[in-house]
Chains A and B, each alone.
Chain A
């Protein structure tokens, strides 16, 4: 029994998540680059509805911070300084969807800064950084994965379908691609680039680099499936009737590979978002102070951060819903497309 709603549900959920990222400026209370040097590594602000005297307030508020020298938890709450949270308020300038100049934010404060998800080493707001960071990272992940799959599917199909010398050549090429020390080439590439790489250029570079290098694995998987699919009886029969290569590929061979491709897509997107973490180590990532999920996660590589400031884990958790969404969508799509699908599948189905 097919469930037509499953696909729709996943699409809506993912759509909502992406809309939030696309309108990061509205949901984020601050500019992601704005430093507050008096407040490095501030834990998430506690939001209250009931004040120190036990009175209830309709408008949520938080207390200003108080530096306590005596305890390991450096910051305490100063109950004399209550700050109210305001909704639909004016704050830092930003461009909605990249072009509409705007100052309206979902929430903000008149005085004092609120750190819903804590602050980083420079006192920058983590929530704002996560939201803005998603813009670059998700695009890079989606485009990178798309590029890889396109290359992988084309090369894998060519190798598997035509076989012979083409197969041997392409597969050895794939092995070469996996084996080569790409780090060297990346160092070289960086040397040829201008020193000041703008975030946009960095993003394009990251996308192209990770997209081009990764095709070998999907190509081999696709080739394996194609090798087998083209010898199925109905494909042989169709060929016997004089069907063209293009027709055979489109109608019979590629659909067989779709399951592998979808699975790969769902796995590759998170991997590509995380790959930027490694690339930033080489100076190829999105440069500071512009946030990306890759450089947010790179903070976690410091042991002291890991054990001292638990809220620095939050970016890793924030990206989980997106990746789960992709896995789920891949599963639902597969179920939707595959003619001999087993009955009802769950999340991620055959993902």
Chain B
């Protein structure tokens, strides 16, 4: 199991204005907004012009736990809510990895990079036909920032300890005042769903906002600005969404999007079962495929389009316990931390790890070996000049010798690495027992390090037990884990690299940087927040990647490719390396034969 970042919503590309009459709908037509005749400024999306109709069936690993964007913390909820049901002001295009207008048709940034003025599209409506204007935006940000609501994304809107201030200029213009520069600040708006004030204000004033919009909410009490709206939820089985007739995008032939009539999410608990459902034709698209399953489906040649989008933003790594445990440290861990703190020890481990074997054996070649946290999939930010030293046991032995390690003979006649006090080097590596991939990596590393004379034990733990050990009790020696950057921008992983960050895994939430190089990373990361020019930020980010490669607090291993599949009949199927991999352009997906999903 890996840490999933919030999945964000997707909308469209390009920018254009168009007048279009509201389409017929089963619901009562909404009252006209007070500012004269309703005009609609629809966004035009390029791409293949599709046919309207059909039902797309997609499997989800687990049931979404809530339909409330404020409290959604689990991956399925976020995928459904932010992927298909809600919309944000400014959106990150998953294919280009750049920001583009969404509910806001344009925005201006002040000279000091602190003030963002956003202009909303005219004629926007929620899925229940109620108009969406600046008051909804104000309400939304007020609620996100209210501490008593416990919105999971609240922390994103607190910059340097102070919240973002929001004010309304007119019904279509909103100004956001940042307390501190935040690199390219418009990326913040991605994934922040604009909420309908007319439905949520009452529960909010009653203090019940967190409990509203559970999965069992009746469809008529729910509204969003995304391409689909709630139709029906059947516990344990599926969530049925239908076309939002008020959606604010159209194709180049002036057909209002989305094309699909219905979007069904069925709940299929294991990835293998998802493959079965896809293979038998019960679902139409599949993502998050393992390389083995991908190969198996490819071999079938049963009318599927299989797509390898290249390395994604997931990076897997091995890290050691570098926490300052003080007096309370268990003696055996304190003893081992002496080795772990030695940078030559970590470099030697890195040199001994066979990354190519990991890519080949764990990902069947569909992945990339890593020497830094930025994967080749993150084209704009990867530092291509970081050295990629080949596996070298000789070089590793040399480094260990320099650090005072020696070799002795073990009971079985094999060589055993000894530290300067003559103690044999042995440690355990934690992995999540539910991640087959990382179990395999740990097993390979175990064998790699055996060749250096280190005795490594793989210790698989159930996921929450593992997190508890790594972040709470800090009683572990080493751990193999993976993170998925939710955005290509370096800001998305700020809390991983800042020494004060809660996800600075090897030594989280430090009050003062423990080492000089961690202090240097802190400084560089803060500095890149204060500038907006890409070239400057890239230079600073490159330096951070170099420091990480030199000091190896994490020994980066490999990144899997994003693998997906769809029935041949589905048009506009273009998987991206950012989440949601396949559904990021769900409003453009369509059935070529117009028939929709075949249920058996």
Contact = CB atoms under 8 A, between A and B. Distances in A.
B102 interface: no
A253 to B, nearest CB: 43
Interface string A121-148: 1100000000000000000000000000
A196 interface: yes
B296 A307 contact: yes
B462 A282 contact: yes
A65 interface: no
Interface stretch (A17-25, A104-112, A242-250, A297-305): A297-305
Contact of B458 (A93, A287, A305, A307): A287
A280 interface: yes
A308 B296 contact: yes
Contact of A187 (B295, B439, B465): B465
B357 interface: yes
A201 to B, nearest CB: 11
Interface stretch (B70-78, B248-256, B343-351, B441-449): B441-449
B361 interface: yes
A191 interface: yes
Contact of A304 (B290, B357, B434): B290
A121 B436 CA distance: 11
Contact of B436 (A33, A283, A302, A308): A302
B277 to A, nearest CB: 11
A72 interface: yes
B360 interface: yes
Contacts of A287: 457-460
A308 B296 CA distance: 7
Interface size class of A (residues with CB under 8 A): 20 to 34
B460 A93 contact: no
A283 B443 contact: no
B413 A195 contact: no
Contacts of B459: 195-197, 283, 287
Most buried by A among B295, B412, B460: B460
Contacts of B275: 303-304
B461 to A, nearest CB: 5
Given A190-B465, A196-B428, A288-B439, A37 B357 contact: yes
B299 interface: yes
Contact of A303 (B272, B434, B475): B272
A282 B431 CA distance: 11
A283 B440 CA distance: 14
B392 interface: no
Interface in B420-466: 426-428, 430, 433-434, 436, 439-440, 442-444, 446-447, 457-462, 464-465
A319 to B, nearest CB: 22
A45 interface: no
B296 to A, nearest CB: 5
A304 B295 contact: yes
A46 B419 CA distance: 47
Q: Chain A's interface: helix, strand, loop or mixed, by majority?
A: loop
Contacts of B176: none
A121 B465 contact: no
B465 A289 contact: no
Interface size class of B (residues with CB under 8 A): 35 or more
Contacts of A122: 361, 440, 443-444, 447
A288 B428 CA distance: 12
A282 B463 CA distance: 9
B352 to A, nearest CB: 14
Nearest to A197: B459
A294 to B, nearest CB: 13
A195 B443 contact: no
A308 B430 contact: no
A273 B389 CA distance: 44
B276 interface: yes
Contacts of A302: 272, 292, 436
A40 B299 contact: no
A190 B462 CA distance: 10
Contacts of B340: none
A35 interface: yes
Nearest to A183: B462
A340 interface: no
A281 interface: yes
A35 B465 contact: no
A198 B428 CA distance: 11
Contacts of B427: 196
B460 A37 contact: no
A190 B475 CA distance: 13
A289 B462 contact: no
A122 B444 CA distance: 8
A280 B460 contact: yes
Given A121-B361, A122-B443, A281 B292 contact: no
A301 to B, nearest CB: 8
Contacts of A196: 426-428, 457, 459
A121 B433 CA distance: 17
A282 B273 CA distance: 21
A302 B444 CA distance: 19
Interface string A72-84: 1000000000000
A35 B457 CA distance: 16
A195 B477 contact: yes
B593 interface: no
Most buried by B among A93, A187, A283, A287: A283
Contacts of A283: 433, 459-462, 465
A93 B446 contact: no
A289 B436 CA distance: 14
Given A281-B462, A282-B462, A302-B436, 18 more contacts: A35-B444, A37-B354, A72-B299, A121-B361, A187-B465, A190-B465, A191-B468, A195-B477, A196-B426, A197-B457, A280-B460, A281-B433, A288-B439, A288-B460, A289-B443, A289-B458, A304-B275, A308-B295
Interface of A: 33, 35, 37, 40, 72, 93, 121-122, 187, 190-191, 195-198, 280-283, 287-289, 301-305, 307-308
Interface of B: 272-273, 275-276, 290, 292-293, 295-296, 299, 354, 357, 360-361, 412-413, 426-428, 430, 433-434, 436, 439-440, 442-444, 446-447, 457-462, 464-465, 468-469, 475-477
